[in-house]
Structure 1
C-alpha cells in the first residue's frame, strides 16, 4: 500500500550564536555581551537569551553595571513563571536590577553608574527585543537589515551622545518591547554604539549578508568598526535561527487575533504587496483571488473572509485552523499554506500556493474513465488518511475542494473548517459542511468525525464514478430523508463488482456499516486497482455487450444446424 503522508517535522528552537567585543582605542572595555542557549526544557518554557550592555562612560562602575545587567537577566529570567510571557518576565528581573543600580549610583563606590541595555529573548517562533539606551537590535532577512530599536538620546545634533533613558538613570524602568515573528535562516544582530556609530546600516547589511558563522561575522563587524575609526568600545552579537518549532495554536491565534477583518477587496487591487490579478471564486463565506506576490513574483491564491456573513470569531478560527493544518501535515495530496510575516500583514487573509489545474468538480463535466477515477480516489483517500492520522477532521470533502493539477498531482484544500483536537469549536450556526455530502448523523448533532469524512469521501466517489449523488442532491437548510441507496452499477453497468460493493459500503446510512477508517478504505481501493491492472486484457464480449454475445452464439448454432441438416 502506498504511503499516505504524515506529520511535518516538529523541529525545535535551534540557534547558533556568536559575539565579539573589543576595547578599541579606549583603555578599557565598558561593553559586556552574553548569549545563553539554555537547556532543552528552559528553551521550551522560557526561551534563550542574548544581550548587550554598554556602561555609561565617565561614571564609576560603568563596566560593572553593564556586566551585572546582562548576568542579572540571565540569572533571574529563568526563575520567573513561564506563564507571564517573555516581556513581563524580563521586565520583572530588570526592574529590580534598575532599582538596585539607582541606589548604588548614589554611593561613592558606583557614583552615577548607568548602562544601556538591549536584549533579545527567542522563544518558540518569536523574538522579543527589550531595550533601553542607545545600543541597538537589528533583524536580517532575505538580504535586508531592519533596525528594531530607537535610541534614547537627545535629538539635538550636538547632544546625541546624551542618554535620557538607561538602566540606573530613572527609578522607574521603561523597557521598550518589540516582538517579531521568526523564520528559519533569519539573523538577529545586537550592537553597541561603537559599532553602529561608525558603520552605516547599509554596511552592516553587507557584513551580515556574508553568511559566515555567527562568531566569524560578529568578529568581522567589530573589526570593520575599528578599522573605520570607531572611538568607542565595539561589540556585536549575531544570532542565526537554524530551526524553529512547529506552529502552535495559542501563538498563532494571538497573531491572527490582532488582524482586523475588513470587507474583501476587488480584482486589480493590491494588499500588502499582493496584486490581486483575477477572481477565482466568490463563495458564501470567503472570496478567493489568484494573485502575485510582488516581493518574489510567486503566483499565489489569497482567501479573504466576508465579515457580513461569518462572525469575527468564526473567521479567525477558520484561518487559524487552515494555517495550523497546512504547517503540520506532510502529504503531497494536502494543500500547503504560505506564512506571511507578521510585520507585513495588515488584515485577515490566508495565502496558499497557486496550482495550475482544475477542480474535481470542473473535471466532472466530462467523462472520467474507471482507471482515472481510481487514481483520483486513491490519492484523495491518502490525503484524508494523512489528516486522520493527526486526528484532523476535514468536514467539507467535496469535488470543489479537490484540485487536479496539470502535472498529474492532487491537492485537498479548504482546511479552514477542519476539526482539530483541543481547539475551540465554531458557533452552532457556523458548523461547516455541504448538505449533499453530510452524513446522516450530522443532521442530528454530530459535529464531524472520521466516519462523517468517510461518508463525504464516499459521496465524492459516487460523483466520480456515476455522476450522481447516492441520496440525491440536498438543498441548503433542508433535512434529507435517507433511504437505502440504489446500486451504483445501475447508473454505470461496467463498474466491477468490487467497486460496486465499495461505493455502496462507503455511503452506508449506519456508520458501523462503513469502512473502519481511511486506511481500510485505501486498502480496498488499491487492492481493487491492482486486480484491475492484472486483468487489463481484452474484456470478453459477454461482459462488454451480453446481447450481442448471445446473438452471435445463436447465429453460430443456427449455421451449425443448417450445416448438419444439409450434410445428413
Structure 2
C-alpha cells in the first residue's frame, strides 16, 4: 500500500532555575534523523532530580540522556514502550546502586517522556512530573502523580528512578490527531498553576517555543519557588494509517467470546445483531460517548485462529481508514484507552444487502445499472491502491440510503503485507475464478471475475456457472448470456458481463476501469429517455388552432341545418 504523508511536529521548551540555587530539572526534545523517525519515532522528556547530597541535576540529566542514547539503539521490533522501559530499567538499576556513593548519594529523579511514532504517542511516566493533552479545546492530564496521598506529604515521591531496585514505569498510549498539543511539565509549573489556567495558556496557540516560555514565566509569577520546566509539542501533520501501526494496536487485545444483544462493550450498547457469518458477528450499537449509531464487528474465536483474526481485523481497519471512496465502507479508530478486546467499529449503513434486495426480486434496469456502476467504482478504488478485495459478492454489498457500499474487507490482500496461510486463502465458492482453484491467492483479475459473477446474479437472479457448495470445484462451462434469463438486457451489457467472467484470465478486461467504462458508456445510452409522442398543439400551434376552427365551423353549420 502506498505511503502517504509523515508525522510532522513543532516543538519548544523552557527550563528556568527560579528561586532555587540550581536548576535540577532537565528536558530534551529530540527529532532525530529521517531514519530514526521512521524506525523509532521522536522523543521528548522532562526529568526533575532530587538528592539529599545535591546531585539531583546529575540524576535527571543522566536519565534523559540515557533514554535518548539508548532508545535509538534498541531494536525497532520491540516497540517504543518496551524500548524505553529496557533503557530506563538499566539506568534505574545503576542509579539505585549509586545511592550510597559520595557522588550520587540518595539521588533519584522523576521522568515523563512522550515518544511519537506514526499516528500514536506513547507516554512513559514515573514520579510527579506530568504530561497533558489539549485537543479540540479540551485540556486533560495524561499521567498520575506517584506521591504520598496525605495533603501535607504530596511532595514526597513513592515512585521514581533510583528509589526502588526495580523501576515501575506507567505507560499510556494515545492516538494522535492533527492540531493536538502535548505538554510536559515539572512540578514547579503545575504546583503553581491551576489546571484551568495551564489550559488557557496552552490554548493561546502561539509558537510552541513562545508558549513554553510564557508558561514557565507564569509559574514564577504565580509564586513557584521550584525550578520550572515546560515542553510543548504541536502535531502539525500525521501520516496515513499503516498496517504495522494498526497491527501493533490490536496485538495486545484479547479475543473473547462473541457478546449478546443487550451487552455493553467499552461503552457500545449492542442493540441488534445484523449478521452472523462464519468468522464474525456484526451488531448495531449505540456509542455511549456521543450517542451515535455504529456497527460493531467481533471475531468468532472458536472458528477463526487468533493469527487470522488479528490479520483480518487489522486489514479491515486499515483499509476503512485509508480508502476514501463513497462506494467503500469506512472504519472508525477506537481510542486505545477505551478498547479492551478485539473488535472493529464501522459506520452503520441503514439499508439492505444486495443479496437481500435480490431475494425480493429483480430491480428496474436503470437502478440495476446504477448499482453496477457504483460497485465497479468501489473495486476500482481498491485496485488503485493495490488492494485486492478477494470476496466480492452480493452479501458484501450494502444498498444504503446514502448509496452503495462495498464492505467486509477483512480478507483483502495488501501489497507487501503478510498474508493468510495457504489453507486459509479466502474466497466464496461460485465467485472464485478458475485459477484460484489452481493456487492463485487472489489478484485484480480474480476480483474482476467475482465482480462479474456478482453482476450476473444482480441482473438475472441466476448463477452463471451454477451455485457451488463449499469445498467443491465448479465446472466452468460456457455460461448463458444474461439476456437469456432477462430479455430486456441489452447486447452491450451481455458482452461486458461475459467478458468479466471469462474462464481464461487473459480474455477478461485488462482492469476494472475498462469494465467501468463499458458500464458507464452503455448505461448512458440506456438512460436516454425514449422519444415520446408530441401533440400537434406543441409541434405546430397555428395549425392546431386552424384545424380546431374548421371543426368548430363545421359543427356550427351542422347544428344550424339540424334546426
TM-score computed with the length of structure 2 as normaliser: 0.84
State the partner residue of 1:560.
none
Aligned mate of 2:515, from 493, 501, 521: 521
Deviations 1:13-45 (A, max 9, x none): 112222233334434433232212223222112
Compared with structure 1, are the counterparts of its residues 522 and 238 closer, same or farther at alpha carbon in structure 2 (3 Å cutoff)?
same
Aligned mate of 2:371, from 371, 376, 400: 376
State the partner residue of 1:551.
none
Are positions 1:386 and 2:389 aligned together? no
Are positions 1:14 and 2:8 aligned together? yes
8 Å CA contact retained: 1:8, 1:330:
no
8 Å CA contact retained: 1:360, 1:404:
yes
Equivalences for residues 122-161 of structure 1 within 5 A: 122-141=116-135, 143-155=137-149, 157-161=151-155
More off after superposition, 308-317 vs 82-91:
82-91
- Unaligned 5+ segments in structure 2 are 534-563
Distance 1:302 1:419 in 2: 22
Compared with structure 1, are the counterparts of its residues 46 and 308 closer, same or farther at alpha carbon in structure 2 (3 Å cutoff)?
closer
Deviation at residue 354 of structure 1 after TM alignment: 1.8
Are positions 1:397 and 2:392 aligned together? yes
Distance 2:251 2:113 in 1: 26
Equivalences for residues 184-195 of structure 1 within 5 A: 184-185=177-178, 186-195=180-189
Distance 1:232 1:461 in 2: 72
Distance 2:327 2:252 in 1: 31
Deviation at residue 338 of structure 1 after TM alignment: 0.3
Distance 2:461 2:332 in 1: 34
Distance 2:301 2:18 in 1: 59
Deviation at residue 459 of structure 1 after TM alignment: 1.1
State the partner residue of 2:401.
406
Compared with structure 1, are the counterparts of its residues 311 and 63 closer, same or farther at alpha carbon in structure 2 (3 Å cutoff)?
closer
State the partner residue of 1:502.
496
8 Å CA contact retained: 2:30, 2:42:
yes
Distance 2:261 2:85 in 1: 46
Aligned mate of 2:317, from 320, 323, 327: 323
Deviations 1:518-550 (A, max 9, x none): 1221222223234445x644399xxxxxxxxxx
Equivalences for residues 25-44 of structure 1 within 5 A: 25-44=19-38
State the partner residue of 2:450.
456
Distance 1:215 1:420 in 2: 41
State the partner residue of 1:268.
262
8 Å CA contact retained: 1:22, 1:29:
yes
Deviation at residue 351 of structure 1 after TM alignment: 0.6
Compared with structure 1, are the counterparts of its residues 495 and 538 closer, same or farther at alpha carbon in structure 2 (3 Å cutoff)?
farther
8 Å CA contact retained: 2:112, 2:125:
yes
8 Å CA contact retained: 2:391, 2:411:
yes
Distance 2:316 2:328 in 1: 11
8 Å CA contact retained: 1:19, 1:215:
yes
Deviations 1:489-539 (A, max 9, x none): 112223222211112112122222222221221222223234445x64439
8 Å CA contact retained: 1:126, 1:179:
no
More off after superposition, 196-205 vs 317-326:
196-205
SS of aligned partner of 1:280:
strand
State the partner residue of 1:233.
227
Aligned mate of 2:463, from 463, 466, 469: 469
State the partner residue of 2:110.
116
Paired residues, what number?
Answer: 531
Compared with structure 1, are the counterparts of its residues 295 and 111 closer, same or farther at alpha carbon in structure 2 (3 Å cutoff)?
same
Deviation at residue 67 of structure 1 after TM alignment: 4.0
TM-score computed with the length of structure 1 as normaliser: 0.83
8 Å CA contact retained: 2:362, 2:460:
no
Distance 1:268 1:95 in 2: 45
Deviation at residue 472 of structure 1 after TM alignment: 2.2
Deviation at residue 448 of structure 1 after TM alignment: 1.9
SS of aligned partner of 2:435:
helix
Distance 1:220 1:393 in 2: 52
State the partner residue of 1:558.
none
Equivalences for residues 331-342 of structure 1 within 5 A: 331-342=325-336
8 Å CA contact retained: 1:470, 1:486:
yes
Distance 1:295 1:391 in 2: 35
Compared with structure 1, are the counterparts of its residues 57 and 426 closer, same or farther at alpha carbon in structure 2 (3 Å cutoff)?
closer
Across the aligned residues of Structure 1 and Structure 2, the Cα RMSD in angstroms comes to: 3.1
8 Å CA contact retained: 1:24, 1:231:
yes
State the partner residue of 1:303.
297
Compared with structure 1, are the counterparts of its residues 81 and 333 closer, same or farther at alpha carbon in structure 2 (3 Å cutoff)?
same
More off after superposition, 116-125 vs 394-403:
116-125
Distance 1:116 1:506 in 2: 65
Distance 2:226 2:19 in 1: 7
8 Å CA contact retained: 1:59, 1:114:
no
More off after superposition, 450-459 vs 80-89:
80-89
Distance 2:307 2:91 in 1: 41
Distance 1:256 1:105 in 2: 41
Compared with structure 1, are the counterparts of its residues 237 and 472 closer, same or farther at alpha carbon in structure 2 (3 Å cutoff)?
same
8 Å CA contact retained: 1:49, 1:74:
yes
State the partner residue of 2:547.
none
SS of aligned partner of 2:468:
coil
